[in-house]
Each structure stands twice: as C-alpha cells, then as structure tokens.
Structure 1
Amino acid sequence: MISLSNAASSASKLFSFYASLTAFLILIKATVDEFVPYELRSYIHKILSTPMNPSLTLIFDELVPDCIEMKNEIFESAETYLDGKISPKSVRLTVGKPQGQNGNITISVGKGEEIPDQFGDIKVIWRYAHQVESKRNKQQQQQQQQQHEWGGGREGDDHDLLLEKQDDDDDELFLVKKEWFELSFNNNFKDLVLKSYLPHVMATSKQIKDQKKEVKIYTPEGQILDGRWCFEWNSIYLDHPSTFHTLAIHPAVKKMITDDLDWFLKRKEFYKKVGKVWNRSYLLYGVPGTGKTSLITAIANYLKFDIYEFKFDGIDYDGIMRKLLRTTGSRSILVMEDIDCIDDANQEFDMYDVPFTDEEERRCYDNRDPKPSINGLLNFANGLWSSWANERIFIFTTNQKDRLDPALLHRFDMQINMSYCNAEAFQILVSNYLGESCRHNPLFDEALELIESVSITPAELAGELIKIEDSGEDFSQLVNFLHVWRGKNK
C-alpha cells in the first residue's frame, strides 16, 4: 500500500517536470519566433495541418460547362470506357435494346453505381449520377418566342433557342435531365490523373468504339436543358445492308470513291501541314432512283462513320444551324439531300413585305440573323470556326445539278454522277436478286444489250427483279420488261 508521504513526493516530482517542460517549450517558441521567418513558419504549419491522404473529386457533365450546346467528349469517353469495366460485383446496371434493331443487348453503368479502376499505382472510383427535374418557365418561353420572331441572337450571344411555340398554359411543365460522372482519387495523383489517366480513358474509349462500331443515323430534334430550348441529335442504329459490293454502279466509279476515301483517312497530318481542315465534300447528282442514298449508306458502312441527316426545315436562322453543327461527332458524315430545292435567293425576307410599327422594330429586323444556306454551312466548316469540322465528310445530293450556283459547284471536292443503269450495274443487280447462275441464262446477253439502249434507273430495275424473284418466273420476263421499257423511251 502506497504511503501518504510517497504520494506527495511523486506529485511534487510530476509538477516539477511539467514546469521544466513548459519553460523549455516557451524558450523554443521564442527562439523560433526570433530566428525563423514568418513565411517559413506558415508553410510548415500548413504542411503539418494538411491530411496525409486528401481525396479529390472531378465532375464531368454531359455538356461542356458554359457551352450548353456542346457535348462533353470526356463524358462520352467515360461512358464507353466504363461499360468495359463492369464486373460481377456491380449492383446497378442499365440494360436495353433498340426496338427493331438486330444488335445485341447493351449493358451500361446504372444510376449511382460505383466502378473502381486502377492505372499504375493510382486507384480511382467512378460514379455515374443522373437527375431529372421539373420546371415551369412560361415567361422565358414568351421571351424566346419574341426573339425567334425577329431572328435575334447571333452566334455567341447568350440567347436560348426556341424549338416550337408552346400553349398558353400557366402550368406548362418541362423535364430537365442532367447526367454526369464523378471521378474520385487521392489528391496527390492529380497531375497524373489529368495528364495520363484521362488521356488513357479517351484513347481506350476510341479503340473500343472502333472495334465495336455500330453505325448510327442522327436527326435533329429539340428538348429542354437547364430550362432552355436546345436542339439535339437523336439517333437510331443504321441497320442498312448497302455496301460497295452490292451497290449497282460502275466498278470504276466504286474504285474511284473508295480510293478517295482511303486517301482521305490517311492524310490527317498532311491536312495539318498544309493548313487545311481535315474534311471532304462530295456532290452526288442524278435523277431520283439512281442510288444516291444507297451510296451514302455504303460509304457509312465502309468507313464505320455515323450519319447526321441535316435538314433546313425548322432551322430558321444561321446561328441555330451553327450551334447544331457544332454538336456533331467526329468520324461522321453530314448529309444534305436535294439541295437544289433550297433557293438561297428566296431565303432572305423581303423588307417591304414586313410591316413595322416603329423604328425599334425596323432596327431589330435589320439586325436579324441571316437564313441558313449551303454556302454558309461550307464557310462555317472551313472558316474561323472550322475546328469542329475535322474528320468529317460532307455529302450533298441533287436531282438537278444545273439549278445550282456554278460558284457553289467549285466548292465540292468531288462530284459524282449517279447515272442510269448501265451494263456493269445491271450485272451486279441481277446477281444480287437472282443469283450468279442467271449469267448463264441464254437470254442474259440479250438483256445486256437491251439495258444499254434504255434509260432506266437501278431502283426501277430492282422493282422488276423483285417481282421475278418472288414469282419464280424465268428470265424471259425480264427481257420482255426491257423491250416494253425501250418502247416507252422512244
């Protein structure tokens, strides 16, 4: 048992130790304050007070910040990259299959799902987030409608795009969809993530897309994003069987086109060296039914490029066209059909047909955006804003080439005449529909001679070949058809 005198002695020694330690610390602090600069003391304090393993989270929105019309390339790359990182431990997955498509079932990361990944010594965690909000915005719609009527809002202005007029309903409700990815990791690896890991994600995503490329066709529609009307490309898979093998055009024309496409794909550095935008433009001209659309799909299937079908219908002003074009993806084909029906001269409003109540209305009208045009599109693709147009192919079609402005014709890199069916195209079509054995039919040579003396499109001939194949009739039916067609031509 400890005696009272021993306890008092121990307490005295303890207090004496604390007093000595306190005096020593005060002496050290006074010495440091005297001889160590304030800046160095602050820096040491900051290091000692910072946690050893801080976490940093990067957010990748679906759309580029401050540019609502532009898709975020990192978001799209992460979407593809993470689909390949799904593991048996994943608990939330999104499963789907486009209606009427022959593709496989798609599996992607579900809302709130976390996907771990490792890049060298870096461990990261991806998380997919999705949110839908409802908004009411009638006043803004009225402002947008007023802006739309006068065509205001030039390129670069912070104005919304009006897709269509809304009903005068105070309870009009809009759904605003937001999607983003979150990437969390140790803050010590920030530079490595930004300079090495994210480029790795984008490069891997591109490889995956190239290997599993399923061509899509896009058409412009509109939706509300963050309370604003914006045009957006909606897509479906291009389930079209047209290829250069089945295309009914002269073999020499096929070779000319495929050689030019191959040359274009290999010339990225050349275009950069000579200071040109890496794109290519084609004009397909010929009467309806000569295979212009089939050639477009054959090019898309050959290159594995997506198709963006652009129409001027509903695109009232040049600024809207530009914003829509900037959202097209790279490695794509932008198609404009029947451009002979677009009369640039008639696209401008006639000032004298517009009633003005005051000078302010006239001033707003005079400052309106110009109407969209083919020349405007080509200027946008090759001018100051041309960075969006790299690795893209522009294809224009017309049924009446003579209606186009001669100055416009000089702007196309290649003009391709889609002619009536000739002997070479006839042989391809007949083989496609009736099989190779039909070439040995005694009437084949007669049909071959007839095809050179008639003006018939591949589409018209294909319609007759389908009837023969369905009915099982012999080759004489086709010969009789060509004789009748020759009589019509006369």
Structure 2
Amino acid sequence: MMMSGEMWTQLGSAVASLMFAWAMLKQYFPDELRHIEKYGQKLVSFVFPYVQITFNEYSGDGFHRCKAYTAIETYLMANSSSRAKRLRADMERENQSVVLSMDDREEVTDEFQGIKVRWASNKSTPRIQSISIYPNEDEKRYYKLTFHRQHRDIIIKTYLNHVLDEGKALQVKKRQRKLYTNTGSEGWNRYTYRRTMWSHVDFQHPATFETLALEPKLKQEIINDLITFSKAKEYYAKVGKAWKRGYLLYGPPGTGKSTMIAAMANLLQYDVYDLELTAVKDNTELRKLLIDTSSKSIIMIEDIDCSLDLTGQRKKEKEKDEDKEKDPLLKNAKNEDDSKSSKVTLSGLLNFIDGLCFEAFKVLAKNYLDLESHHLFTTIRCLLEETNMTPADVAENLMPKSAEDGPESCLENLIKAFEKAKEEARLKAEEEERVKKEEERLKAEEEEKQKAEKEKEKCDEEVKEKKTSDEEGK
C-alpha cells in the first residue's frame, strides 16, 4: 500500500511539472490552437483524477493558529501512530506519557465509509535561507488531503466534518488549561518558533470554592452568577451584548484576590490570562493582545490603579507647566523614560473590554464628576445591565457641556443616552428580525419555484421519452 502511495506521489510530481511546462507554453501558443487546451486539461484529469485540499497551520496575520489544523492534528495523532513510519515524540506534562504524531513529510492513509484518502504532513521553507541558531519563523506547516474526485461530495460534506468533530472531541477530552502571560512589546517575537504575544505554562492551581474562605451566602451568589453566565452565550447574542462579565476585586495583598480568580477558573474550566499592563506599549498593542485570547478564558489585570494614568489630561496639563521650568537635561531624560513606559489609558482599556460594568462606571464618575455615590447610580446600574454602551460614550455623556451643568445634570444626560441606545437597539433587533423573516420567505418561494421547475422539466422529459418510444415503435 505504501509503494502504491509513493508511486502516486511521483506521478503527481510529474503531472505538476507537465502542468508548469504547459503554462509556460500557453503564453506563446497561437489563438487558433487554443481549443487544444481543453484536451490537455482532460488528459491531466484522466492521468491524475485526484483532488487535494491544503490546511495551513497559520492563517491571516500569522498570529492565530488555524482551528481546523489543530483539530486535524489531534485526529491524526490518535489515528496515525500505528501506520506512519516516521513519528515525532513529545511528552505530556500531566501524566508524563509519550505522545506520538506524524513527522514532517510523512504520509498516512485513512478510510471512511469504504473510501480511502491520504493525509500528508508537510512544511514549506523560504527560498532565501538565512543562517541562524534560532528556528526559522517563515517555515509554514500544513496538512494536505488527497482523494479521488468521484468522492468529492462525501469527503467535503461528510468526512471533513467527521475529522473536525473527532479532533475537537479529543482536544476537549485531553485539554490542559493554561496560564498565559504577555511577553512584552520588545521580546514577544524574538526567539519563539512562531510569533506569539503570550507565553504560557500549565495551569495547576488547587483553589476551589469549597476551600475558599468566604461568607457562604456570598460564595453561593458568585457561583450561581458564574454558572448562569457560562450558559448564557445565546442570550447575550440575542440581546446584542458582548458575552463578557467583569469583576472588580480590591483589597490589600494577601486577602485572597488571586486565589478567588483561580477558584473561578477551576469552576468554569477556563484558561487564565495574566495581563501585565506595564509591559504593554500602547492601546494598539493592548488591542492585539486581547484579540489573541481564547473565548472561554479569564483575563486578570492586577494593580490597575497603579498601572494606568487615571487622571488623564489633568496630569498632562500639570506636567506641561512643570516642564517650562525644568532643566533641559532632566527633561530629555524624562522624555526617554516616558517613551519606554506604557501608554495604555483607562478609557482605552475599558473600550477594548467591550462592555462597561458598574464598578468601571464608578471609576469614570469619580474621574469626571468627582462622585463616589449618588441616588441616580441605582438607575444607571440597571441600564448598564440592559444596554451595551462603550466607555468612550459613557465618558462623553459624563462631561459637562456648559458651565451651568452640574454632576446631577450630567448623570441625567447619561441616563437619556442609555434610554436612547436601548430604544435604538430594540428597533434594530426588530428590523433584523423582519429582514430575517423576509429572507426566509423569499428563500422558501425560490425553493418552491425551483421545485416546480424541476417537476416541469421531469414531466417534459417523460413526455419526450414517451414520444420517442412511440415513434420507434411505429
């Protein structure tokens, strides 16, 4: 069987060379002889009647590992170790067992519903080679699936879904949760095999809510809230809110904030991302970091009050006045330190979080209005739970529009903005529902029309066949 596979591989290479030569020849081919091209294509299809599908390890900007590739990799790890000749070994940290997978440029066969297919593990290297002690970042790994063209529909519609579902199920079964840490803007892509903005280790914290020293009633409320949130993805999508939830934990060191987060992660079976804001260059890099996180994860931001400039523009104005009287050498040294420090702002962080929790609103109210409490806060808390508004929009409505505007009028303006956004969201949802129903109606009419046309064609064909049969009988 392997000899047959090698023979077809050599034949495929020969056909590929022939196609390349034909492509070069076509440029100088007279237009009068162009009709010969279709015969050449038929010849190639006859000699090599196979379809090939490539699954690259990285797609898009190269930061995100393709989910289809990882699912296929897991599927082949479970199904190819007994058939492949060249294997790559790795060690699982949890149970210290050896895990085997296909080595580069290896090929195995798989069978599905009596159909045989071939999987090949390959990698492409750059044409311009550089001498380095570090792995080449430009190497691109990929899997190639080859099958006969007569099985195209079954492979594409059924087999690939089978492979992806099996791979995902195996990933869930053997999944090891991770603790991620951002590696900093200067060192995140220097020595790793692929570019990544996060480094990780296995997450193995023993904390649970059973061992957490917390008032029982409050503990149960938190557990219920977490479980309800974890099952509410469809509800959040229905009301048009981001499927995210924010908790503000505060207190002196040693009061159990980190242990609380570990217990939450163990309850939900989520990964944990430890976001160090002082290592983030600016809001743009912060956006890239948050985009590169997994959907079911906890993002932990420690010492947020020490890492960000909470007073914003007021601090800049004060520094501008001080700089006028500062020694030039000291001023240059300070500018150099500022260029190395983080430029992440509170408003930038809250904007990227995509959704404002009440505690974050209180921070904005303190910064903009110098308010720590107000009787309108209760109304705003309810509106925050019902309406999706970015922190930038909240901050805009909190800012006084005239000298006569006081804190209460600013809060009233914010409530009006929330109510307006809530009404717009309701109208938008109704319009989307109306459009969806209209599309479904048109689709049903089109399907009915196509069905009627097919039935008419079938009847016409039967009449034609009967007429032909009658004529032959005469």
Q: Quick check: which one's strand share is greater?
A: 1
Whether 2:79 is the aligned partner of 1:80: answer no
**Using a 3 Å threshold, how does the CA distance of structure 1 residues 80 and 49 change in structure 2: closer, same or farther?**
closer
**Using a 3 Å threshold, how does the CA distance of structure 1 residues 45 and 134 change in structure 2: closer, same or farther?**
closer
The 2-side partners of 1:259 and 1:190 are apart by 48
The 1-side partners of 2:125 and 2:181 are apart by 24
Whether 2:144 is the aligned partner of 1:183: answer yes
Among residues 113, 120, 128, which one is paired with 1:120 in the alignment? 113
Quick one: which amino acid aligns to residue 92 of structure 1?
R
**Using a 3 Å threshold, how does the CA distance of structure 1 residues 120 and 193 change in structure 2: closer, same or farther?**
same
TM-score with structure 2 setting the length: 0.55
Give the CA deviation at 1:196. Answer: 3.6
Contact 2:310 2:346 in 1 (8 A): no
Among residues 95, 113, 136, which one is paired with 2:89 in the alignment? 95
The 1-side partners of 2:148 and 2:312 are apart by 55
Segment drifting more, 271-280 vs 89-98: 89-98
Which residue is 2:45 aligned to?
50
Give the CA deviation at 1:404. Answer: 4.3
Q: Quick check: which one's helix share is greater?
A: 2
Deviation sequence 1:89-110 (CA, Å, 0-9, x none): 3333333336xx5433241413
Which residue is 2:352 aligned to?
380
Contact 1:132 1:175 in 2 (8 A): no
SS across alignment from 1:283: coil
The 1-side partners of 2:179 and 2:361 are apart by 29
Identity of aligned residues (%): 30
**Using a 3 Å threshold, how does the CA distance of structure 1 residues 46 and 90 change in structure 2: closer, same or farther?**
closer
The 1-side partners of 2:47 and 2:147 are apart by 10
The 1-side partners of 2:270 and 2:104 are apart by 29
Contact 1:215 1:238 in 2 (8 A): yes
Segment drifting more, 117-126 vs 282-291: 117-126
Give the CA deviation at 1:321. Answer: 1.7
**Using a 3 Å threshold, how does the CA distance of structure 1 residues 229 and 301 change in structure 2: closer, same or farther?**
closer
Deviation sequence 1:414-467 (CA, Å, 0-9, x none): xxxxxxxxxxxxxxxxxxxxxxxxxxxxxxxxxxxxxxxxxxxxxxxxxxxxxx
SS across alignment from 1:84: helix
The 2-side partners of 1:89 and 1:345 are apart by 60
Deviation sequence 1:14-51 (CA, Å, 0-9, x none): xxxxxxxxxxxxxxxxxxxxxxxx99998788546622
Contact 1:243 1:298 in 2 (8 A): yes
Quick one: which amino acid aligns to residue 271 of structure 2?
D
Contact 2:122 2:144 in 1 (8 A): no
Contact 2:178 2:271 in 1 (8 A): yes
**Using a 3 Å threshold, how does the CA distance of structure 1 residues 318 and 95 change in structure 2: closer, same or farther?**
same
The 1-side partners of 2:35 and 2:174 are apart by 56
Segment drifting more, 46-55 vs 257-266: 46-55
Contact 1:95 1:106 in 2 (8 A): yes
The 2-side partners of 1:136 and 1:223 are apart by 23
Contact 1:59 1:180 in 2 (8 A): no
The 1-side partners of 2:181 and 2:127 are apart by 25
Contact 2:81 2:87 in 1 (8 A): no
Which residue is 2:396 aligned to?
none
Which residue is 2:97 aligned to?
105
Kindly indicate whether structure 1 or structure 2 has the higher relative contact order, using CA contacts under 8 Å at least 6 residues apart.
1
Which residue is 1:301 aligned to?
266
Contact 1:215 1:300 in 2 (8 A): no
Give the number of aligned pairs: 314
Give the CA deviation at 1:310. Answer: 1.2
Contact 1:136 1:173 in 2 (8 A): no
Give the CA deviation at 1:217. Answer: 0.8
Deviation sequence 1:352-403 (CA, Å, 0-9, x none): 5699xxxxxxxxxxxxxx93345424423438xxxxxxxxxx99xx9xx999
Quick one: which amino acid aligns to residue 56 of structure 2?
D
SS across alignment from 1:199: helix
Quick one: which amino acid aligns to residue 180 of structure 1?
R
Whether 2:67 is the aligned partner of 1:59: answer no
Whether 2:331 is the aligned partner of 1:331: answer no
TM-score with structure 1 setting the length: 0.53
The 2-side partners of 1:226 and 1:48 are apart by 48
Which residue is 2:419 aligned to?
none
The 2-side partners of 1:91 and 1:284 are apart by 54
Among residues 198, 205, 226, which one is paired with 2:167 in the alignment? 205
Contact 1:78 1:202 in 2 (8 A): yes
The 1-side partners of 2:296 and 2:91 are apart by 24
The 2-side partners of 1:87 and 1:230 are apart by 29
Whether 2:256 is the aligned partner of 1:291: answer yes
Which residue is 2:227 aligned to?
262
SS across alignment from 1:51: helix
The 2-side partners of 1:281 and 1:402 are apart by 12
SS across alignment from 1:294: helix
Give the CA deviation at 1:316. Answer: 0.7
Contact 2:277 2:344 in 1 (8 A): yes
Deviation sequence 1:196-247 (CA, Å, 0-9, x none): 4333333323322322232111122345489999543222111221112212
The 2-side partners of 1:412 and 1:333 are apart by 21
The 2-side partners of 1:195 and 1:124 are apart by 15
Give the CA deviation at 1:174. Answer: 5.3
SS across alignment from 1:280: coil
Which consecutive unaligned segments of at least 5 residues does structure 2 have? 1-32, 328-341, 373-380, 386-474
Which residue is 1:68 aligned to?
62
Contact 1:231 1:324 in 2 (8 A): no
Which residue is 2:179 aligned to?
217
SS across alignment from 1:218: strand
Contact 1:55 1:184 in 2 (8 A): no
Deviation sequence 1:309-350 (CA, Å, 0-9, x none): 111233212222222222222322211112121233477895
Quick one: which amino acid aligns to residue 117 of structure 1?
D
Which consecutive unaligned segments of at least 5 residues does structure 1 have? 1-37, 138-170, 356-369, 384-393, 414-490
Aligned alpha-carbon RMSD (Å): 4.5
The 1-side partners of 2:346 and 2:164 are apart by 33
